[in-house]
Amino acid sequence: MDNKFYKNLKAQNLSLRNLLSKSRSFKDVPESWYIVITDIENSSEAIAQNKHNNVNIAATGSIVTVLNTIKNIDKNAEIPYFFGGDGVSFIIPPIFIDVTFDSLKNYQKHVQNQFDLKLRIGKVKVTDIYKREVTLKIAKQQQNKFLIIPVVLGEGLKLAETIIKDKYESKSIVTDTSNTLNLEGMECRWDEIYPDNKKDKVLCLLIESQQEEKQAKVFGQIIEKIDTIFGELEVRRPITILNLKLKPTFKKIKTEMYAKLGKYNPFFLLQKVAITAIGVYYFKYFPAGKKYVYRVTQLSDTIMIDGSINTVVSGSQEQINTLVAYLKKLEKKQSIYFGYHATYASIMSCYVQDMDKKHIHFVDGTEGGYTSAAKMLKHKLNLHSK
């Protein structure tokens, strides 16, 4: 059945670079499905105003909104999505599209009220993408014991984003009050996460292939190069047990309170302050707490392929320089375009359904990591189009 297409895909227990070489593992997304895009308008300007945490939280909230809405209808449903720092791409079956889009309209109003940010939302049917002779193929990768991620090849998601942005008109937002905002499980209480080595940096990287038909091969080569320079995913991941710490401050928890509830609630504030303060010791000294922190590192979303490579890694300036030099050579050969941003730490927002295995953690760099990298990439693409 089309509605269970993604759920029924078999997760491939292969490294990303090996998966990319197995074309048979990728299946065409059904024509009846939809691509849904959310992103913060003028996110670069917001980040320049030191609002990068709010941009990140607003993007995370769109994931929580969509997943909670779908889980209320079918708790076993699975949909692929891709976090990009200031926005998210979803691929959604037709059975969920209307209720999902209605919930995002409510969330759009919430973001405007709480953060004074404009959340752009839009949808495109997959069949309309195929009519433009663009591909959209997907596979599942078993990244580790706990985490399965979607992997997309083709220009489908990028074309959908372009269509939505070109047609989008900012206007007054009307809320359908029949739909209740549901942000249960959204959390943002982790402190900035510094690399284990104090001299290292966090690198946020975006890479696009210039030729769709060579995308898988080029991406496989780049990921192999990243593995060689920075080490395998477990080594280069910026989220580690050593530096993962809760931040039990009123300011941090007030941000979460308004992000989730949209209003001041003293009971929520005091409860979360107490829980977070206890959590500092629980995660450090208790076996169950240590297990949860370990699983946070395993369930952190630090590499995505959504038709481009999006990744956050930790490494030395020398390692970063080596990779950038390699990517510049590929760019000069008209193989790729890339943008990057190196910063001092990573930040993380979370969706926690339970403390065992149902939690996912969205990683970005400080100073608007992904958004800053995207700004560089967009500048290069604009120069090429002239």
* Lookup: tokens for 83: 């976090």
176 falls in which pLDDT band (50, 70, 90)?
low
pLDDT in tens, 103-132: 999 999 999 999 999 999 999 999 999 999
Residue pair 342/370 in contact (Cβ under 8 Å)? The answer is no
pLDDT at 177: 45
Residue pair 348/361 in contact (Cβ under 8 Å)? The answer is yes
Mean pLDDT of the chain: 90
Q: Is 225 exposed, middle or buried (0-12, 13-18, 19+ CB in 10 A)?
A: middle
For the chain, how long is the longest CA-to-CA vector?
59
d(CA 206, CA 208): 7
pLDDT in tens, 185-243: 888 788 889 998 889 999 999 999 999 999 999 999 999 999 999 999 888 999 888 78
d(CA 37, CA 91): 9
d(CA 119, CA 108): 5
pLDDT in tens, 268-292: 888 888 888 888 888 888 898 889 8
| pTM as predicted | 0.92
1 falls in which pLDDT band (50, 70, 90)?
low
pLDDT in tens, 293-319: 899 889 998 999 999 999 999 999 999
Q: Tell me what the mean pLDDT of segment 57-82 comes to.
A: 94
pLDDT surpassing 80 at residue 357: no
Cβ count near 44 (within 10 Å): 16
147 falls in which pLDDT band (50, 70, 90)?
very high
